[in-house]
Structure 1
Amino acid sequence: MTADRGVHSAANERDARAAGVRQVVLPKPGKLSAKRTAYELQDWFRAGRNWRAGIEGRISSLKRNHGLRRCRYHGTDGMERWVGLGVLAHNRAPVRTGPPAFRRRGGAAPVRHALDVRPPDP
């Protein structure tokens, strides 16, 4: 389980462990003790913290580029549909541009389809 610094408390960590969460990643705000610093520098803790930061970037991108600032459907089912469509649009972006080795400066690589018909060379 991971969350940001604003959620940290000893009670939250204790409750998460009592619920069966093995790796609780709740960074503590402020000055850390030597024991807490050693705890937060463990590889699994840092990986969880970095994973959460990556998710925040993904959410920001979805909101900024794929219309997820505002849901245009109603109800829980509509919200699930809207978010699902936004995630599908976000996941298609790398497919449209091609693998990194084929990207060019200034835009996406040209797309060739199996059904492209070209006149034969003279």
Structure 2
Amino acid sequence: MAAEDRLREREKAYAWAGALCGYAGADRAFLEDFWRRLTADEEIYEEFVYYLEHQDFLCKVKIEGYGLVDLMIFQIDHFRAVMDQDVADMRLNKDKMLLMAFHSLLRMRKDPEPFVKAMQGTTGTDRQI
């Protein structure tokens, strides 16, 4: 990819990250921290750009066997248990769910253990599976 194309891609990706943060109610500091960590991780950045361009998941990045879709499913299931709390907007805000999944994937890259334990633990609901 030519340098000019990469620059255009980064500008478009940054604008989309900013829009996601806006839709999610995240502040500028969150955006800047998210963008710094996202662009420092080439593989997760590639997943982000792929989703931006295709509105679909690349599913290339796996950490301890888990990827972005696994994190989204976990979040959906986990937030069912806390719908009456402050995060009730998560179930209605697809952009926030997507942003938080990417945010979690970046955090998971740095320290996978808490995420793996949480995803292998209970679902957070009273449902019998």
Give me the TM-score of the superposition, normalised by structure 1: 0.27
Larger Cα-atom Rg: 1
Give me the TM-score of the superposition, normalised by structure 2: 0.26
Write 1 or 2 for the structure with the bigger share of helix.
Answer: 2
